[in-house]
Amino acid sequence: MCGIVGYVGERAVTPLLLEALEKLEYRGYDSAGIALVSDGGIEIQKTRGRIADLRRIVESAGDSGCTVGIGHTRWATHGEPSDVNSHPHLSKSGRVAVVHNGIIENYIELRAFLSAHGYEFSTETDSEVVSELIDYCYSGDPVAAVRKAELQLRGSYALGIIFADFPEQIIALRKDSPLIIGIGENENFIASDIPAILKYTRDVFRLDERELAVLSKKRVAVFNELGERVEHVIEHIEWDAGAAEKGGYPHFMIKEIMEQPEAISKTVAPRIDANGDILLGFKSLSDEDLKNIDSIKLTACGSAYHVGVVAKHLLKKWLDIPVEAELASEFRYDDPILNERTLVIVISQSGETLDTLYALREAKNKGARTVSIVNVVASSIANESEEVLYTWAGPEISVATTKAYSTQLVLVELLGIRMAQLRGKLSDCEVKELVSAIKCIPSGIETILSDVQTMQYVASLYFNSQSVFFLGRNIDFALSLEASLKLKEISYIHSEAYAAGELKHGTISLIEDGTLVIALCTYRPLLDKMISNIKEVKARGAKVIAIINEDDIQTGTVADHIIRIPECGEISAPSLTIVPLQLFAYYIASLKGCDIDKPRNLAKSVTVE
């Protein structure tokens, strides 16, 4: 999704903005631009394409000498990626320039209103109404103009705003879209995410909902929606900028795949005490509350939703209560039945996915208890949920999630096991066994990662496939969903995940000579049935890669290739099985020469509905 940066200080602003925007490239974008302000007014440079294209334009224009400006990477929603639709948007009067992340839902209405007052529009975007509306509301006081304009805005927005009349300040405002403020010495920053400004400052805070910040080089003043001054606790970022660099790997995705053993250890270790008991550290949800929960809903988007689908099977078995996984984008529109005995578990790497945030708010409005599983500390979802369990996976830059997925999975497992123990559904001894199996996951993944050549080889046989089918039953089906998403999002190969028993109800007509089928066969209770399903597709000409348990001696006799998953306890299988499939997707995309970390049309943090 769109990325915003802004700087006010003493440095040359143009190279700083370009560099900061490069650090937000992972979010996904199709055009970029900057607006600089000085006594001479506001100057805009923007273009469709990459930041390298913008850099060429900016460099050919020569040094601006400016030290205040805003920048933007746009992920097109309203209007095609084009020079004119790119941000920043400058009001026709030349007085106000705006960068926007989010969607102005009532922009058609606002356009009509402003047009009736003589304003003209040159783009197809929803964002252009913001610069014109602020201009319309402006009569000398920038903060008053922004607040007056905001009263008319419906939708989500993080905004960076500059005024030609006030060349030494930036105004920032947010609702439902993230925005952080960075504090420096004689300089201050705004950004959509920390890596953009980490080179310059480690002292940051997140703007809260509907807060407005006025940044000058010497100070940052923040006001809540009532206009009251608010103070924020400044967070000092400990992680190194290197954590957001590739560290010798060709792509962030492979680096993050390789980081999974360590990331999982960091998620799990602090939550297990010396006796092997699980510590969740909840402040609001007491043990008694957890005992009283009589149903669970897991809600999330994309891969985080797939974690929910795996967890649904496990939690239902351990807790013996109804557990459902629901797409966050559907959740609040489906009139969910929730009450104070429902636990809604919200899962999100970024903590900013708008659908997931809205699902969380729906759950809270209906009185449900809420726990979020989040990677980005102090993100909106983390802040708004009743309890938060952080995955502590470190920054995940690749659009295709890997280590966040894996850490979310172990964390939701720990939550489920603890609840089952409290409710007397798992004995202390069973809990200890499950916990020690979870602790073995990092070494199991290390074993898989010590032999990436096998997946590289298999990928080299199939990277020209037109279509791939992933089959599985029960948890293996849940994992198929994730494996299929991973492949299609980065390699652009059409792929589908099917519950293996469902294939013959229609989809098997797509299987023909040479079609690649990846059969996940780690769920022991249904192995015989999976073997029958493999035979069915083989009989129609499919080539089959089977992912099997280490001790499986049957499946290898029917599949074309087998990938063995090391044995370390039933609960570990989902965490291990996904790893070769992440590698498969990665190597296929690499052989196809795809832009692996920034797949076309995708964004890392999806901050629009």
- Asked if residue 354 binds ligand M6R (CB under 6 A), the reply is no
Catalytic positions, written as ranges: 2, 604
Coil, strand, or helix at residue 607?
coil
Distance CA 571, CA 412 (A): 12
- Asked if residue 304 binds ligand M6R (CB under 6 A), the reply is yes
* Smallest separation, CB 353 to ligand M6R (Å): 3
Distance CA 459, CA 490 (A): 14
- Asked if residue 303 binds ligand M6R (CB under 6 A), the reply is yes
Q: Mark 242-281 with x for binding to ligand M6R (rule: CB under 6 A) and - for no binding.
A: ----------------------------------------
**Contact residue for ligand M6R among 91, 201, 348, 474 (CB under 6 A):** 348
Please, which residue, 401 or 474, has the CB nearer to ligand M6R? 401
Inter-residue contact 229 to 163 (CB < 8 Å): no
Question: What sign for the dihedral angle of Cα 279, 280, 284, 285?
Answer: negative
* Smallest separation, CB 490 to ligand M6R (Å): 8
**Contact residue for ligand M6R among 14, 45, 329, 356 (CB under 6 A):** 356
* Smallest separation, CB 518 to ligand M6R (Å): 17
**Contact residue for ligand M6R among 14, 169, 349, 549 (CB under 6 A):** 349
Count of residues binding ligand M6R (CB under 6 A)? 16
Please, which residue, 328 or 542, has the CB nearer to ligand M6R? 328
**In terms of Cα–Cα distance, which of 166, 125, 121, 168 is closest to 145?**
166
**In terms of Cα–Cα distance, which of 465, 412, 332, 349 is closest to 574?**
412
Q: Which of residues 531-550 bind ligand M6R (CB under 6 A)?
A: none
- Burial of 283 from C-beta contacts in 10 A (0-12 / 13-18 / 19+): exposed
- Asked if residue 301 binds ligand M6R (CB under 6 A), the reply is yes
- Asked if residue 188 binds ligand M6R (CB under 6 A), the reply is no
Q: What's the token pair of residue 484?
A: 């299929």
Give first-to-last CA distance, the chain, whole Å: 11
Find all residues with CB under 8 Å of 190, minimum gap 6, and list them: 4, 5, 6, 70, 160, 170, 172, 179, 180, 181, 182, 213, 215
* Smallest separation, CB 402 to ligand M6R (Å): 8
Residue 99, phi then psi, degrees to nearest 5 = -115, 140
Distance CA 188, CA 283 (A): 34
Q: Which of residues 478-517 bind ligand M6R (CB under 6 A)?
A: 485, 489
Please, which residue, 88 or 599, has the CB nearer to ligand M6R? 599
Q: Mark 195-214 with x for binding to ligand M6R (rule: CB under 6 A) and - for no binding.
A: --------------------
**Geometric angle at alpha carbon 175, from 157 and 41, rounded to 5°:** 50
* Smallest separation, CB 454 to ligand M6R (Å): 23
* Smallest separation, CB 327 to ligand M6R (Å): 10
**Contact residue for ligand M6R among 201, 606, 607, 608 (CB under 6 A):** 606
Q: Which of residues 392-411 bind ligand M6R (CB under 6 A)?
A: 399-401
- Burial of 161 from C-beta contacts in 10 A (0-12 / 13-18 / 19+): buried
Which residues would be at the binding site for ligand M6R (CB under 6 A)? 301-304, 348-350, 353, 356, 399-401, 485, 489, 605-606
